[in-house]
Amino acid sequence: MTTTGTGNSVGTLAKLVNLSERRVQQLVKEGVMPAPIKQKYDLVACVNGYIKYLQDKAAGQKTGDNNLDIHKERIRLVRAQADKMEIERDVLNGTLIPVEEAEHAFAGQILKCRSQLMSLPVRIAPLILAMSEYGTIEALIRDNIKEALNELSGSAWPDDINADETGNAETRPAARSKRKRVGKQVSVPQ
């Protein structure tokens, strides 16, 4: 019986690579070692395949469906840790806030806007009763709407997200708009 080249049994190959015959057959099935021709194995090709398999496994490369690519997993872990550190830095710098705080602040602004809009009829109705000219009534409504909008635009997001029981929170002024009015005034017939 020859131990070099082709024509060797699974038992001979198993002894050579210090594996069981069943494990040799599994490695052939996984494609690590070439399949036998007429139940005879090519020792050189099988040993080379097994050495490459062990080298890949030692280098942390994927060698089978159940094994993880350790190198890629480490890279993924390092990236996740870096992302986490960036988020923590942004929170500490005040450039990132939790979603709940942003939702709470936005809801406060919506309530403020609703309050301003709902108060318009109550403020305007008694004044309109005393007026009889269309242009004067329209101007009064427009002026009150502008006043409400100016009050809303005069405050930005609350500095203190946790408002007191009345819903009041300290606010900081928003940046003033540098936009100019475009278009021409339309006069309404009286």
Task: Indicate whether 137 belongs to any domain.
Answer: yes
Same domain flag for 92 and 103:
no
Domain with 24 in it: 10-58
- Any idea which residue has 């190198």 for tokens? 71
Residues 103 and 92 in one domain: no
Q: What pLDDT does 60 receive?
A: 65
pLDDT on residue 158 = 45
Q: Are residues 30 and 91 in the same domain?
A: no
Is residue 18 domain-resident? Answer: yes
Quick one: 128 and 83 in the same domain?
A: no
178 Cβ contact partners less than 8 Å away, ≥ 6 residues apart: none
For residues 147 and 83, state if they share a domain.
no
Per-10-residue mean pLDDT for the chain, 190 residues long? 65 91 92 91 92 85 57 90 93 89 89 89 89 90 88 59 42 44 49
Q: Which pLDDT score, from 0 to 100, does residue 70 have?
A: 78
Look at the block and give the residue holding tokens 């090519």.
Answer: 42
Question: Which pLDDT score is estimated for 4?
Answer: 53
Clarify whether residues 27 and 73 are in a common domain: no
- Residue 118 maps to a domain: yes
Cβ neighbour number for residue 162 with a 10 Å cutoff: 8
Same domain, 84 and 42: no
Per-residue model confidence (pLDDT) at position 116: 87
Let me know whether 85 and 102 are in one domain.
Answer: no
pLDDT at 62: 53
The count of C-alpha atoms lying within 13 angstroms of the C-alpha of 73, restricted to the half-sphere facing its C-beta, is 7
With respect to residue 149, please indicate whether it lies within any of the assigned structural domains: yes
Structure-token pair, residue 169: 């929170």
Specify if 181 maps to a domain: no
Quote the pTM value.
Answer: 0.37
Q: Are 46 and 34 in contact (CB under 8 A)?
A: yes
Asked whether residue 37 is assigned to any structural domain, the reply reads yes
Answer whether residue 3 is part of any domain. no
Same domain, 146 and 83: no
Give the total number of structural domains in the chain.
Answer: 3
The pLDDT score that the predictor gives to residue 68 is: 60
Confirm whether 186 is domain-assigned: no
Contact (Cβ atoms closer than 8 angstroms) between residue 172 and residue 156: yes
On average, the pLDDT of the chain sits at: 78
Residues 107 and 168 in one domain: yes
Q: Are residues 107 and 82 in the same domain?
A: no
Whether residues 116 and 52 fall in one domain: no
